[in-house]
Amino acid sequence: MALVTTKEMFKKAFEGKYAIGAFNINNMEIIQGVVNAAAKLNSAVILQVSKSALAYAGPKYLMAMVNAAIEETGIDIAVHLDHGPDLETVKKVIDAGFTSVMFDGSHFEYEENVAKTKEVVDYAHSKGVVVEAELGMLAGVEDDVNVAAEHATYTDPDQAVDFIKRTGVDSLAIAIGTSHGAYKFKGEAKLRFDILENITAKLEAEGIHNFPIVLHGASSVDQNCVKTCNDFGGKIDGASGIPNDMLRKASSMAVCKINMDTDLRLAMTAGIRKFFGENPSAFDPRGYLGISRELIQKLVEDKIENVLGSKDSMK
């Protein structure tokens, strides 16, 4: 087993009606928590890195830890650039050993998004790296991505087909109602599964079969973690995410990759807050980071088994 691209992962996921979890990483404890969960449940996994995570930890440090995780667990891991802003960043991470990149041109006018994405695809494919792009705009805040609710737009199915054909992109992140951050819905959660079905049907009609779709902003915002944070001094009021049953339905359709970042942040923060609340005189980082790592592992195990459906996907 090894560092791999997402191509074979997604092929198996589409046929098996499950999705691969894409978890954002920032440090050793998050990597270990995610990878230990995947190894325990024999699931392939995607570790993804945002632009701000690159600035925080550095690509060489992150890749060294990922390679150690592969050597220790033996599972298939893809390392993915999340919301890459430009070709320069794409080149940087490919040189560092990333096997997958996302270029996010969703904030550009359509034709400019097509042109810039095609440029990234041509370069990445020449290096044996696969590319994800985005069409439509998700509301919410995540690192450098900040889209007001009034500017969010659903993905147009006809445009999606045209975009995929013209860019040669390997997977597409679409907007069907998910949202970045911890405050995804003010009312009842709703995902536009009709848009997802329409995109898949139109692609099939064009002879593009089993094309992998991606969901960003798909954390469930675990209420136990939110409660723990608040019980120990936090102020995360009104946070809500995507219900697990909706994500499971999406992963049984054409969605082959589901992004989760906020849930990991909440789990880590809950662990740290609880540890210090119960151990106010403690100051050993191994204590509070170790507890957080355990919470992240439990969270990811639950995602793999009950949301993604990717348990035993390494068989």
Summarize pLDDT for 105-164 with one digit per residue, the tens: 988 999 999 999 999 999 999 999 999 999 987 644 445 544 444 445 789 999 999 999
- pLDDT grade, residue 179 (50/70/90)? low
Question: Tell me, what amino acid is at 145?
Answer: V
- pLDDT grade, residue 190 (50/70/90)? confident
Domain boundaries, the chain: 7-308
Catalytic residue list contains 82: yes
- The Cα–Cα gap between 71 and 68 comes to 5
Closest CA to 69 of 3, 128, 123: 3
Q: Could you say which of 76, 82, 170, 222 is catalytic?
A: 82
Is residue 185's pLDDT more than 70?
no
The pLDDT mean for the chain works out to: 91
pLDDT of residue 241: 83
Is residue 222's pLDDT more than 90?
no
Q: Between 2.40.340.10, 1.10.3720.10, 1.10.10.60, 3.20.20.70, what CATH number should domain 7-308 receive?
A: 3.20.20.70
Residue % of the chain over a pLDDT of 90:
81
> In terms of pLDDT, which residue wins out, 190 or 126?
126
- The Cα–Cα gap between 169 and 309 comes to 25
